[in-house]
């Protein structure tokens, strides 16, 4: 069976981010046909069209990592009913310059993680809108809104909630099928 390389993009920069902890849990629960690399977006210079002619080395390296991936896994918190600026910046950087969209045609999945009960619903759907425009092919079902994140992990960052673990495992099984169906 072919092994597919998945770029994991976490929209939270916080050291103890629940999104990062969830990303690591998803990776641990994933089928063996998927390999993962968490892509750091913290140091991407803000998108500025004036820089396209001579792009910053961080943009070039980021786009190369996305281009080399067979699929994408996004994790996002919700800030003011939308995605964090750092995540939107990464999408903008990856989509430019015009005609060189690194996201184009790649299968992806979105997980929103929050300490609240709404579970990042707004951010999840805002991210879907941006990904639709850049032609990243977001898995429709199952949807993943993880709420109450503060109670899901132990003090070492390990996922301790069995029902969440079961859900995330089934989510990754569905994602594996999606990647195998779409990826080149």
Please tell me the predicted confidence (pLDDT) of residue 134. 98
Could you give all domains of the chain from N- to C-terminal order, each with its CATH number?
4-182 (3.40.50.360)
The model's pTM is: 0.96
137-138 vs 107-113, strand pairing mode: parallel
- Count CB-CB contacts under 10 A for residue 70: 19
Please tell me the predicted confidence (pLDDT) of residue 76. 98
- Count CB-CB contacts under 10 A for residue 163: 8
Average pLDDT for 65-83: 96
Please tell me the predicted confidence (pLDDT) of residue 116. 87
Q: pLDDT > 90: what percent of the chain?
A: 96
pLDDT in tens, 99-150: 999 999 999 999 999 998 888 999 999 999 999 999 999 999 999 999 999 9
Tokens 């990856």 belong to 94
Please tell me the predicted confidence (pLDDT) of residue 83. 96
Quickly state the pLDDT bin for 28 (edges 50, 70, 90): very high
Please tell me the predicted confidence (pLDDT) of residue 119. 84
Please tell me the predicted confidence (pLDDT) of residue 118. 84
């Amino acid at each position: 069976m072919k092994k597919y390389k998945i770029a994991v993009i976490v929209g939270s920069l916080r050291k103890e981010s629940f999104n990062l902890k969830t990303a690591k849990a998803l990776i641990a629960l994933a089928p063996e046909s998927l390999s993962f690399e968490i892509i750091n977006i913290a140091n991407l210079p803000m998108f500025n069209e004036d820089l396209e002619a001579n792009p910053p080395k961080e943009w070039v390296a980021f786009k190369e990592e996305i281009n080399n991936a067979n699929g994408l896994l996004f994790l996002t918190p919700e800030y003011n009913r939308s995605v964090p600026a750092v995540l939107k910046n990464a999408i903008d950087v990856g989509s430019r310059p015009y005609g060189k969209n690194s996201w184009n045609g790649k299968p992806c999945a979105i997980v929103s993680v929050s300490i609240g009960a709404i579970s990042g619903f707004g951010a999840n759907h805002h991210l879907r809108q941006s990904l639709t425009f850049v032609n990243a092919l977001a898995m429709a079902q199952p949807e993943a809104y993880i709420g109450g994140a503060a109670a899901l992990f132990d003090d070492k960052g390990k996922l301790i909630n069995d029902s969440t673990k079961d859900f995330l495992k089934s989510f990754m099984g569905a994602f594996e099928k999606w990647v195998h169906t779409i990826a080149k």
